[in-house]
Amino acid sequence: MLNLETLLLFIALGSVVGVAAGLLGVGGGGIIVPSLTTIFIMQGMPESEVVHMALGTSMATIIVTSFASLRAHHKREGVLWNVVKMMAPGILLGTFLGTFLASVLSSFYLAIFFSVFMAYVSLQMFLNKKPKPSRTLIAASGQFGAGSIIGAISALVSIGGGSLTVPYLIWQNVDIKKAIGTSAAVGFPIAVSGTLGYIVNGWSHTDMSQFTFGYIYLPAFLIIACCSYFTAPLGVKLTHVLPINITKRIFAFLLIALSIKMLSSFI
């Protein structure tokens, strides 16, 4: 199942994800999941497993990217740790339980949910629409509930939660830079809890001879994580060269195209 062509595809995917993460501040799940789904189908992986394996592998890579992002924002004092502490318990619970829901859904329905959610994210990105700040930070119980919802949705589509957390914090009058930094910190427990959940729920699919550990395909995880780590600084540099609004619109079209390609594999 693993050959040179597949390894090169993983290297290319990880490189693109790293640049996108540095340039646009995204975790990469919107690129990784549909791309891995297509690659896994090409490899001959059972159709019933491909989306679950793509989601689990993507979530594992987000551990690396989110931790690196968290450290960078923390050094710039861009993380509201009091908000992270209030949201983290809900994040951990919602994300972990979300993987159980994902495990019982078929690849077809997961692909539909992923595609619809990515269409929403792409539209928001294309229109550059931001919520209007309307209030101050809500109480700890509200943060727990919001964290649970963000975690559950993040588990189902394998993202770091930024597309949900940032608007949610801006809505509470949090400065945009603080919202992005806090979202990066929230992405780490999402990734850890989600990865654990996909390992637990996919344990029966563990086969070290096929490099699978739960719903994580180890070669893809290692290569994508390493490549994205080294190419992310290039994306950061490009933020000072490329027009971000135009780049976001191009990226939005890319997400839609990849999601349609993923969905077409099951129709």
Q: The pTM is what? A: 0.85
**Is-contact 20 28, C-beta < 8 A?**
yes
Nearest to 73 by CA among 186, 174, 235, 167: 186
> In sequence order, what are the residues at sequence separation of 6 or more whose Cβ sits closer than 8 angstroms to the Cβ of residue 222?
none
Is residue 267 over pLDDT 90? no
Q: What is the DSSP annotation of 177-237?
A: HHHHHHHHHHHHHHHHHHHHHHHHHTGGG-BGGGTEETTEEHHHHHHHHHHHHHHHHHHHH
Nearest to 168 by CA among 139, 130, 125, 141: 130
Angle at 103 between CA 99 and CA 105, to 5 degrees: 115
Is residue 25 over pLDDT 70? no
The pLDDT of residue 61 is 92
**Is-contact 70 188, C-beta < 8 A?**
yes
Please state, as a whole number, how many other Cβ atoms lie within 10 Å of the Cβ of residue 267.
7
Cα separation, 211 vs 214, whole angstroms: 10
Cα separation, 67 vs 86, whole angstroms: 19
pLDDT grade, residue 239 (50/70/90)? Answer: low
Is residue 266 over pLDDT 80? no
The pLDDT of residue 126 is 77
Is residue 130 over pLDDT 80? no
Q: Phi first, then psi: what are they for 261, rounded to 5°?
A: -60, -45
User: pLDDT (tens digit, 9 = 90+) per residue, 185-238?
Assistant: 888 899 999 999 999 999 999 999 889 999 999 999 999 999 988 887 787 677
The pLDDT of residue 201 is 94
**Is-contact 34 262, C-beta < 8 A?**
yes
Question: What average pLDDT does the structure give for the chain?
Answer: 85
Average pLDDT, integer, range 120-131: 75
Average pLDDT, integer, range 88-97: 95
Q: Is 49 left (phi over 0), alpha (psi -120 to 50) or beta?
A: alpha
